[in-house]
Structure 1
Amino acid sequence: MSKNDTLSQSDAIAHLGERLKAYRIGKNLTPEEVAVSTGISRAAIYRYESGQPIRVDVLGKIADLLQVSLESLLGVGVEYFSSALGFFERMRQLEETAEQLSVLFGPISYLLTTDRYDTILADVLAESIPHDVEGRDQFILEIEKILKILKARKKSFQERKPHIISLISAAELEYFYKTGFIGCSNPQGVNLADRMQAAKDEVVNIISLLYEQPMGVQIGVLVDSAPGASFQIFKQAEHSEVAVSPYKLGSFANIRIGVATISSAPESVRLHNDLTFQLWERSLKGERAAKYLFETLGL
């Protein structure tokens, strides 16, 4: 029996409530709006999202409203997210109980960024949305909600301090350093010198972490080919999940296009664990990695 088969029924119900909340947030619906549309009481919606048992017929009504399969809500197979907002909320939920995180999100894992990164990110995300794209106003409104979820993720990480293995592509980091922290090419009304400095500050922060090697933080710098897709593994005491994402929070960010997935399937978890191990073995670490970045970037 695999670790993924050892979840208790109460744990499974609790995770169902978390998924309900993530998909609801991804649809920009309040519990009140779900209640009105489904004929289910608002109090019941709150109970279900908090992990209370839910009848199958009621779950079906909510699934139809959220346009998500029962399989995804139940965590059978793969959870699919076409909304960055819902996906980041689901990541927040999983990180709250994860004991170890293995991360390949470029150019830098959001969890290891500085506080200044957060102050600029709102503008970068807004810049990444073309002015002529359909539904731009809705995407702009979602940015504040995304930032709230991201900051909650970072706060939880800093307080809980789960072990993190962060893999960073040297080529992607160099591109970030040279182009600056911007959301699109030639953003209008932007102080490019300030954005270049912001990118440099993040790179310097990573180099400092490589030198200091704080407890529970392991960083590997990849100097050869790296996977094109971003992923994160959430390891917990009795089970693990892996998230694969098209969404990006660095330069030329993307919060509107793509489908992210989260899976607890043993094969998916195993393959991504194997990939992490292979990449970690080939990566530069500690002082050697710091010196490589320092020299390559001409700092």
Structure 2
Amino acid sequence: METSIRFNDIGSRLRAHRIGKGLTPEMLAEKLGISRAALYRAEKGQIRKIEMLTSVADELGVSLTSLMGVGVEYVSTATAFFERMRQLEEDCQQIVGLFSPVSYLLTSNDYDDMLREVLQESVPQEQDRDGSATKAINAMLEILVNRKSSFRLRRPLIASLISSADLERFLLHGLVGRHDLPQRVVDERRRKARRETQHIVELIRDQPIGIQIGIVREPVPATSFQIFRQTNRSVLAISPYRLGEQPNVRLGVALITSAPEAMSLHEEIAARLWGEALKGAEAIEYLEAMIEQYGIADTSARRKA
């Protein structure tokens, strides 16, 4: 178990929780009664006094132990969680995880446009009269796009476990933010889901360096998890947030930890699922049959043909 305090990590958590609260550096610095420069140094890990950390934790509504990364770090907003994912991915050599319906890092660029539409339609108008919900969605999407761009530049190894049940629902329903959408919109989302699933097939067929995909046919945990393997440690993230069919970015508490027992248990789960997952030609054949069975006809593909 780690015993040393990693001040850079504390600064990263501070920044993530600030973003999750929708606060600019200037706003938080003013609330704390410090200069913008002092806050900037704190977010870089240059923290001189425990009193300052205590004030920051109180202002952001997180525990001091969570901010310091002692034991388990709890993250109560999707925006802060995805910022923490971006930070962890910057320093990792390998990512292993179970995602729904697939790791966001492996999605196409078209997925981002669809996700923006879905997240915006999922917010009831009466809950966004001041535009705060839309602002939070835009901030989160900016973080997600930055994550994908950084991943494509750095190319850490990634092993993505995909639940076949999640993909079936994705093909059957598409990506939707609520259930009262016009049928034409639902049909178009299902066509996009079909194209995104076909994108997964092409990734398996092309076998880009460092990308491994396994299709899991057995029941999987209800929550997603990711293991970040870094040079001198591994970090586990367990998330209730979903970016797939019927996304959830509004409610939940994510966990981040390096606790040996949690790491060991999830490494065992990942190894077992990976060992039994379909890969390569078998996965391609299975997914193509699934697309034909559950996917809606892609009219745009017909026009191109």
Task: Tell whether the structures are fold-level matches, with TM greater than 0.5.
Answer: yes
Aligned match for 1:35, one of 21, 29, 33: 29
Contact 2:20/2:80, CA 8 A, preserved across alignment: yes
* Unaligned 5+ runs, structure 1: none
Match of 1:293 in 2: 287
Alignment map for 1:1-80 (pairs within 5 Å): 4=2, 12-80=6-74
Match of 2:253 in 1: 259
Contact 2:194/2:291, CA 8 A, preserved across alignment: no
In 1: Cα distance, 2:237 partner to 2:260 partner: 13
CA shift in 2, pair 1:264/1:181, >3 Å:
same
AA paired with 2:264?
R
The one-character-per-residue Cα deviations of 1:36-59 (angstroms, maximum 9, x if unpaired) are 111122110000101213310111
Alignment map for 1:234-253 (pairs within 5 Å): 234-253=228-247
Please tell me whether residue 127 in structure 1 is matched to residue 121 in structure 2. yes
In 1: Cα distance, 2:122 partner to 2:245 partner: 9
**Structure 1 stretches (4+) deviating beyond 6 angstroms?**
none
* Distance apart, 1:133 and its partner CA: 4.9
Aligned match for 2:263, one of 265, 269, 274: 269
CA shift in 2, pair 1:129/1:167, >3 Å:
same
CA shift in 2, pair 1:36/1:136, >3 Å:
closer
SS of aligned partner of 2:92: coil
Match of 2:145 in 1: 151
AA paired with 1:20?
L
**Alignment RMSD:** 1.8
The one-character-per-residue Cα deviations of 1:178-210 (angstroms, maximum 9, x if unpaired) are 111222213259633321221011100111112
Please tell me whether residue 210 in structure 1 is matched to residue 204 in structure 2. yes
Aligned match for 2:214, one of 204, 213, 220: 220
Contact 1:129/1:136, CA 8 A, preserved across alignment: no
Match of 2:89 in 1: 95
AA paired with 1:166?
S
SS of aligned partner of 2:292: coil
* Distance apart, 1:135 and its partner CA: 7.9
Contact 2:25/2:36, CA 8 A, preserved across alignment: yes
CA shift in 2, pair 1:224/1:136, >3 Å:
farther
* Unaligned 5+ runs, structure 2: 294-305
- TM (norm. structure 2) is 0.91
- TM (norm. structure 1) is 0.93
AA paired with 2:198?
V
The one-character-per-residue Cα deviations of 1:137-159 (angstroms, maximum 9, x if unpaired) are 42222111011000000001000
Single out whichever of 108-117 and 51-60 deviates more from structure 2.
51-60
In 2: Cα distance, 1:136 partner to 1:175 partner: 34
